[in-house]
Amino acid sequence: MTAYLYVLRCRDGAYYVGTTRGNLETRVAEHNAGTYGGWTAARRPVQLVFHQGFERITDAIAAERQVKGWRREKKEALISGQCHLLPALSSRTKV
């Protein structure tokens, strides 16, 4: 694999979705060190809860954009490996 989509769980319970071409352990360490500042710097420590490898960075970036737009419940289904729930979680019902 040359690129990864990853999801981090932050100290406050929020999820961060990102991509990297490099080593995942190194990237998570960079988030935990606050190397680049940004959104996760104020929510440390973070924990890697999901990752998926891609052959091309463009595919990883497309997946990142898609997952970033998901509601929390859908992200949690992905993280827990319950992908069969994703279609049902995609539909919005009126209350």
Q: Which two tokens stand for residue 35?
A: 């190397």
Domain boundaries, the chain: 3-70
Q: Which two tokens stand for residue 38?
A: 């940004």
The CB density around residue 18, as the number of other CB atoms within 10 Å, is 20
* In the predicted structure, residue 95 carries a pLDDT above the cut 90: no
Mean pLDDT score, 41-69: 97
Angle at 74 between CA 52 and CA 65, to 5 degrees: 55
What distance in Å separates the CA atoms of residue 18 and residue 57, rounded to the nearest whole number?
Answer: 11
What distance in Å separates the CA atoms of residue 47 and residue 12, rounded to the nearest whole number?
Answer: 11
Q: What is the pLDDT of residues 10-41, one digit of tens each?
A: 999 999 999 999 999 999 999 999 998 899 99
Domain 3-70, second-level architecture: 3-Layer(aba) Sandwich (3.40)
**Element spanning 54, H or E:** strand 47-54
